[in-house]
Each structure stands twice: as C-alpha cells, then as structure tokens.
Amino acid sequence: MKILVANLGSTSFKYRLFDMASETQLARGGIDRIGQDADSTCVAEVGDHKLQEVKRIPDHAAAVRMCLDQLTNPQTGCLKSVDEVAAIGFKAVFAGRLSGIRRVDAELLSTMEALADVAPAHNPPYAKAMRQLMASFPEIPLVAALETAFHETIRPEYRTYAVPYEWTENFEVRRWGFHGASHRFIGSRMAQLLGRDDAKIISCHLGGSSSVCAIEGGESRSTSMGMTPQSGLPQNNRVGDFDPFALRLLKRLTGKDYDTLLNDLASKGGLQGMSGVSPDLRDIEQAADAGNARADLAIRVYAADIKKYIGQYLAVLNGADAIVFTGGIGENSTRIRSLVCENMTYAGIELDPAKNVPVKSDTNLSAAGSKVQIWSVPTNEEIVVARQTVKVVEG
C-alpha cells in the first residue's frame, strides 16, 4: 500500500510517499509560493533522482497534481499510475471533539473552519486545501490525523482549566495539546531503544513550534500546549504562556483593540519578540555570541521554560526514565540542551558535555552517572501519520 503524507502551509505543500509494506520512503518533495503572483519551485527526491520544476501554481490541488505527475513520470517516477496511491494522510491540527484519526468529510471540514480561532495559522489552509483535493481527486481517500489525538489519554485533572465549567462543557475550552504525531513517535521509538513498554519519557519537541509532553507506556499524561498552539513554551514568533488580564492594560496604553493585540502575540511574540533579531534560534544564538543582551535573554527564557515543564512532568510521572530532545532545535542546539539540563543533578539528570554535539541519529547524551537518560532522537511525524492512515483505509 502506497500512502502520500501531506504537510500543508498557506502557500506551501510538502510530502513524503511511503510503501507501507516495508515502511520505506519512496519519495519526498515540496512546492512553495502556491497561489502567489510568482513562479513556484517544485522539488522532489525519487530514489536517486533529484527533480526540480518551476511554474505558476494556482492552488494546492494543482500542487498535488504536479507532484503526482513527477511521481508517475515513466523515466524518473516510482509509481506506474496515480491509482497506486491508496490515500493521502494529513497532519491536521484541530477539530475540537472531532479528534482522533478520521476520513476527511464535510463535517470535519466545516468544524475545522468554525474553529479557526484556535489554530488560525493551520486550520484555514488545511481546510481549503482538503476541499480542493476532494474535488480534484475524488477517487483518493483523504485521512486527517488530528494533532490532538495522542493527548486523549490525559486525565481530566491535567486537561481542565479553572474556568466556569460551562465553558468546558459547551465551548470545548480545555487543554487539547498538539504535536501529537511527534510525541507519539518519540514514545514508541524510546520503547524500542530502552527495551521496555512501560517507560516514562519526557519528550521535548523543540523547533519553530515547541512543546513538552509527559509520556508513560506510550501514552500522553500531560503536555505543555493547551487550548491553542499559541500556549505553553515560547514559539518562534508566538507568545506561549501569558496572563490574559495584561491585555486590558495593553489595550488602554496602546490604543489597539483585542484582535490586534492577539495578532501581535501570535505573530510578533516568542523568540522573535524577545530577541528583536529573528524567529530563528540559529540567528538568535549568533547574535547572543556577538554580545546582544536581548538575544541572550530570549535564549535563557526559552530554556528556563523547558526546564520548568520538565520539573512539572517529573512530578506527574513520579520520575522519568529518559528525557528526549527532538525537532530542529532539540536535535541541533547544544546550547539549549546544556541550559535545560544544568543544575538538574538533584533529579538524577546529568548531561555529558563531550557527547553534547549536533547529531543526526538516535544518540544517548547522558553522563555516566546520570540516573535519567538524556537522548537526542530525530522525530518522524510522517511515518506516524502514514501508519494511522493505513488503519483508517483498512477499516
């Protein structure tokens, strides 16, 4: 069975094609500048072939068609026909109570659109693209693997906000959690690496978007993101945890309305807002090395918040077998890993400085005497979505 896994942005489309009989990646690629008044670049890696094509792409349906044309090319493709694609799986973000893994239908799409306030950067482009694909490829099943699904095992006391209870019941205001595919992969991969199914793992998915998750026996027990992806840790340009009552003061002092202030928090906050340099941690670290005090503060705030969540989850799990760093920052920023793990020997957490280098494979970074193992593990959200898509297609 061949599964195409799609990762959508408002103007981008990235994909991986898997042969699920052996869970082998057959191809990967992507297109940028979709729907813009500019040419798009479609790149693909199919086996040993590297392909590139430049043309105007009006929408996501045209982008998928272009990719499928490359994949079915008689000379360089890996498919004989589009009919070999059993389904397209999406790492969708939020649909409230319509969580889990499900076929894309009118109910799911209308719900995602109605809840765009929760995930304004994610829900609208996904819903729009899914509608286009349903119309253009009615013969290919579409499957949504909601990011919230992995966190359905969290107990109510760790999901419920202290708000008027009818908000929870009637308006679905609760800690939903996100990055489910990544944390699910880390939970299963660490079970293999540690050789046990009951392991207690603290998974730190750190990148442009970041979250921490407490995992026990492969199931989520608590996670840092709450009702929206704007909460929890500071993100690249999103605020993270924030006192909402500060908005009343800001409204009076700046003259901005609430929608404008919320947009500022969601687009001008986080690492970019603190540093004044960039939303990219690599740029911020470079600026800090050059003596930029705000850049240094942004790094220290980010690492301190990660450390605080690790402390919480040591309490939730009653200890941990391993702390895992994943994502672009988690795998590559030796500075963040060092700051997060320093002064944690009271909890049996000790990083080996000699091992703390950028890595591209599963690597144990623990010092010899560390009671809690420290790992860097590359995540693979796409294979998780592919596996979930197969289950839905097979019924």
Residue-level pLDDT at 120: 86
For the segment 272-286, the average pLDDT, to the nearest whole number, is: 96
Residue 247 is given by DSSP the state H
Is 200 annotated among the ligand-binding residues?
no
Is 330 annotated among the ligand-binding residues?
yes
For the segment 378-395, the average pLDDT, to the nearest whole number, is: 95
User: Residue 346 corresponds to which tokens in the numbers above?
Assistant: 């009271």
Residue-level pLDDT at 55: 87
Residue-level pLDDT at 66: 87
Is 331 annotated among the ligand-binding residues?
yes
Using CA atoms in the order 306, 380, 46, 133, what is the torsion angle rounded to 10 degrees? Answer: -90
Residue-level pLDDT at 32: 85
CB 71 within 8 A of CB 78: yes
Q: Record the pTM.
A: 0.92
Position with higher pLDDT, 152 vs 73: 152
Is the pLDDT reported for residue 65 higher than 90? no
Is 332 annotated among the ligand-binding residues?
yes
232-252 pLDDT per residue, tens = 999 999 999 999 999 999 999
Is 328 annotated among the ligand-binding residues?
yes
Residue-level pLDDT at 10: 65
Is 263 annotated among the ligand-binding residues?
no
Name the strand (E) or helix (H) holding 223. Answer: strand 219-223
The superfamily in CATH containing domain 2-146 is ATPase, nucleotide binding domain (3.30.420.40)
Helix orientation angle between 334-341 and 293-317, rounded to the nearest 10 degrees: 50
Is the pLDDT reported for residue 211 higher than 80? yes
Is 259 annotated among the ligand-binding residues?
no
For the segment 19-38, the average pLDDT, to the nearest whole number, is: 90
Is the pLDDT reported for residue 289 higher than 90? yes
Q: Look at 60-64, 177-181, 290-294, 328-332 and tell me which has the smallest mean pLDDT.
A: 60-64
Position with higher pLDDT, 65 vs 194: 194
Residue 223, beta-bridge partner list: 213
Is 282 annotated among the ligand-binding residues?
yes
Average pLDDT, rounded, for the chain: 94
Distance, C-alpha 127 to centroid of its chain: 18
CA distances for 282 relative to 279, 294, 327, 356, 359, angstroms? 9, 14, 13, 17, 16
Residue-level pLDDT at 113: 95
For the segment 14-29, the average pLDDT, to the nearest whole number, is: 94
Is the pLDDT reported for residue 151 higher than 90? yes
Residue-level pLDDT at 40: 83
Is 247 annotated among the ligand-binding residues?
no
Categorize the per-residue pLDDT at 61 as very low, low, confident or very high, splitting at 50, 70 and 90.
confident
Beta-carbon contacts of residue 325 (< 8 Å; ≥ 6 apart): 204, 206, 331, 336, 337, 365, 374, 375, 376, 377
Q: 2-146 and 195-381: same fold?
A: yes
Is the pLDDT reported for residue 46 higher than 80? yes
Of all residues in the chain, what percent carry a pLDDT higher than 90? 80
Neighbours of 258 (CB within 10 A): 12
Name the strand (E) or helix (H) holding 212. Answer: strand 211-216
Give the residue extent of every domain in the chain. 2-146, 195-381
Is 152 annotated among the ligand-binding residues?
no
For the segment 53-82, the average pLDDT, to the nearest whole number, is: 88
For the segment 167-195, the average pLDDT, to the nearest whole number, is: 97
CA angle 116, 119, 125 (to 5 degrees): 70
Measured between alpha carbons, how far is 124 from 11 in angstroms, rounded to an integer?
11
Is 14 annotated among the ligand-binding residues?
yes
Is the pLDDT reported for residue 380 higher than 80? yes
CATH 3.30.420.40 assigned to 195-381:
yes
